[in-house]
């Protein structure tokens, strides 16, 4: 029997059907053979070692595992890897461009929008998706867009402020970001 990409001599996982999947993660193409029940969250964290994507409940309640699928936020814990055949996935590791941080990343750091940092990757990606479709959102739009991601540390206030700051910077015509 062929081992999957984890290289384990598999047992329960080994006994399950596997399927080949091609996907593009942060611009990098991958061809994987994964058990059909493997979630995108598991594939990202365990097979591809992209541990920037977090988990908090693995049943779709907390939003920690949010990644972008063709630019739209999805819960990777509820997405099967085999479902994303041929699609584009962006994780927090894919936010930087040519060694330059995304304006949202800078704003989160500067405004104190991270405390424990555990929700930060999901917040960043969800906010990026918002700003990509709505470059200068109202506060209510920001609240609506981020409402699926929970944070227990910040009270959300500095997260909203950071998204507003990033929007301003990205919108400025002479922006170097």
* 116 belongs to the binding site for another protein (CB under 8 A): yes
Contacts of 169 (CB under 8 A, 6+ apart): 103, 106, 107, 175, 177
Question: What residues from 92 to 111 belong to the interface with another protein (CB under 8 A)?
Answer: 92-93, 95-96, 101, 105-106, 108-111
In the complex with another protein, the residue whose CB is nearer, 49 or 174, is 49
Question: What residues from 155 to 174 belong to the interface with another protein (CB under 8 A)?
Answer: 155-160
**Residue 121: Cβ within 10 Å count:** 24
Element spanning 90, H or E:
strand 88-90
Q: Which of 5, 13, 78, 170 binds another protein (CB under 8 A)?
A: 13
* 138 belongs to the binding site for another protein (CB under 8 A): no
Query: Helix, strand, or coil here: 124?
Result: helix
Question: What residues from 26 to 85 belong to the interface with another protein (CB under 8 A)?
Answer: 45, 51-59, 61-62, 64
Contacts of 6 (CB under 8 A, 6+ apart): 46, 47
Residues of this chain that interact with another protein (CB under 8 A) are 6, 8-13, 16, 45, 51-59, 61-62, 64, 91-93, 95-96, 101, 105-106, 108-112, 114-121, 124, 143-144, 146-147, 149-160
């Amino acid at each position: 029997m062929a081992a999957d990409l984890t290289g384990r001599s598999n047992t329960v996982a080994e006994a399950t059907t596997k399927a080949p999947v091609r996907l593009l993660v942060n611009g990098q193409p991958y061809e994987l053979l994964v058990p059909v029940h493997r979630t995108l969250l598991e594939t990202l964290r365990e097979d591809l070692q992209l541990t920037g994507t977090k988990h908090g409940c693995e049943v779709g309640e907390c939003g920690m595992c949010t990644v972008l699928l063709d630019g739209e936020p999805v819960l990777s814990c509820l997405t099967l890897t085999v479902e994303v055949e041929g699609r584009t996935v962006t994780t927090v590791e894919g936010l930087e461009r040519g060694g330059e941080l995304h304006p949202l990343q800078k704003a989160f750091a500067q405004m104190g929008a991270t405390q424990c940092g555990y929700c930060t990757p999901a917040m960043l990606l969800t906010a990026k998706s918002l700003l990509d479709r709505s470059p200068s959102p109202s506060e209510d739009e920001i609240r609506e867009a981020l409402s699926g991601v929970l944070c227990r540390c910040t009270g959300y206030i500095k997260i909203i402020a950071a998204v507003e700051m990033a929007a301003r910077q990205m919108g400025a015509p002479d922006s170097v970001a």
